[in-house]
Amino acid sequence: MLRDIDVAIIGAGPAGIAAGVGARRAGAENVVVFERDWDLGGILQQCIHPGFGLHTFKEELTGPEYVHRYLERAHEAGVTFVTNTMVFHMEEDGSFWTMNPERGIEHVRPKATVLAMGCRERPLGALGVPGSRPAGIYTAGTAQRFVNMEGYMPGKRVVVLGSGDIGLIMVRRMLLEGAKVEAVFELMSWPGGLRRNIAQCLDDYGVPLYLDHTVTKVHGKDRLEAVTVAQVDQYKSPIPGTERTIECDTLLLAVGLIPENELSRMAGVEIHPLTGGPKVNQFLQTSKPNVFAAGNVVVVYDLVDWVSAEGLRAGENAARYALGTLRSPGRTFQVEPGRGVRLLSPQVVGDQEDSMVFLRVSEPVERRCRIVTMPDVGSANLRYARPGEMNELKIKAEALRSLGDDVKAIQVHVEEVR
């Protein structure tokens, strides 16, 4: 089974499952997905709240329901899944090493590989908050796994730092399980998560959100006893005199997600400094031609539907590469973030077919605005633009083909419509 693999996929979250389907549908014979967990589905296994699949299945599903539906497609397509198998090393040629309790260590040499390892949460250590490290401080995703999958309650009196979606979802979850949630504190001047999650998880339960605030100290030796919070100035430094101490036994952190790219780096794949994921072209092909990437390992997405769509395309293109039928991208252009754009992906597009670029804005624009390109190769109208939500832009191949030879890069800007 592990010999003569056409397309190998690392990670069986939504991106990896979809990549398997795409690779099989595009004609690859032997498509194998390697997953370190004992079950399939990635982070969606613990997301028992609804809100998944509105685009893909035209229904509002929970995370496990979404995975179940997609796995049906994968099994129909003939994708092979290998669980309990950690990919622990990648070689520069795209081959990799796996470890499995029964089969031991194996060297896998596929014709093409899709990276789909997802992302991980930023821990407290990365924030440098003073104080000891008592029990009771968790990333929101860890607490979510405890409550939804392991059947443990992390605590009874909770403060949340960061207003990313996982933190917002966990506010509601902890409340429904009987905990008291004191408040959510956010360093930025705007919320990090989706508006619908602010409304459904905070406003509906009367939990306050304090923008421009952070935790400046944790108290307690063995168990967390309290946190000190303070307002911050425009440089994000705590303002003296605004500190207050809140008693709590649990601090949940929703302070950002980091694409999981240790393997990508081992393989020598170029990592983009803004996304923290592999630099990819419109085929989701990395700087190593036989290595493709999809989902949160490339850039942190807000909706699983985009992740699955990207996984499908990465799998299809990896299959074409393995079969020797991947078309040339033609003349290629760098796509660069300009005014109002924090990050975007893919960062390279070709002039042979239209490309979809996903982007996040750097600041909220709460009025009609427009994504524009310089030179003009595509644009999109938006009712608003918020950092917590991904936006899409179609870059037209025909417009790229009309550009002079001196043009090497396309800049993407967001501007208000007056």
b (16+ CB within 10 A) / e for 394-411: ebbbebbeebeeeeeebe
> One-letter amino acid identity for 262?
E
Minimum distance, C-beta of residue 42 to ligand FAD, in the bound complex (Å): 2
Minimum distance, C-beta of residue 219 to ligand FAD, in the bound complex (Å): 27
Between 149 and 239, name the residue whose CB sits nearer to ligand FAD.
149
Pairing, β 250-253 against β 369-374: unpaired
Minimum distance, C-beta of residue 311 to ligand FAD, in the bound complex (Å): 7
Between 12 and 108, name the residue whose CB sits nearer to ligand FAD.
12
- The closest residue (CB) to ligand FAD is 13
Between 52 and 185, name the residue whose CB sits nearer to ligand FAD.
52
Where do we find the tokens 């942190």? 300
Q: DSSP character for 167?
A: H
Minimum distance, C-beta of residue 96 to ligand FAD, in the bound complex (Å): 9
Between 187 and 390, name the residue whose CB sits nearer to ligand FAD.
390
Between 194 and 400, name the residue whose CB sits nearer to ligand FAD.
194
Whole-angstrom distance, CA of residue 186 vs CA of residue 211: 5
Between 304 and 369, name the residue whose CB sits nearer to ligand FAD.
304
Minimum distance, C-beta of residue 405 to ligand FAD, in the bound complex (Å): 37
CB atoms near residue 315 (< 10 Å): 35
Whose CA is closest to 144, among 166, 161, 117? 166
* DSSP string over 316-351: HHHHHHHHT-PPP--SEEEEEE-TTEEEEE-SEEES
- How large is the greatest C-alpha to C-alpha distance in the chain, in angstroms? 66
Minimum distance, C-beta of residue 284 to ligand FAD, in the bound complex (Å): 12
Using CB under 6 A, list all residues that contact ligand FAD. Answer: 10-16, 34-37, 42-44, 47, 51-52, 86-87, 116-118, 141, 144, 165-166, 169, 260, 263, 295-297, 301, 303-305, 307
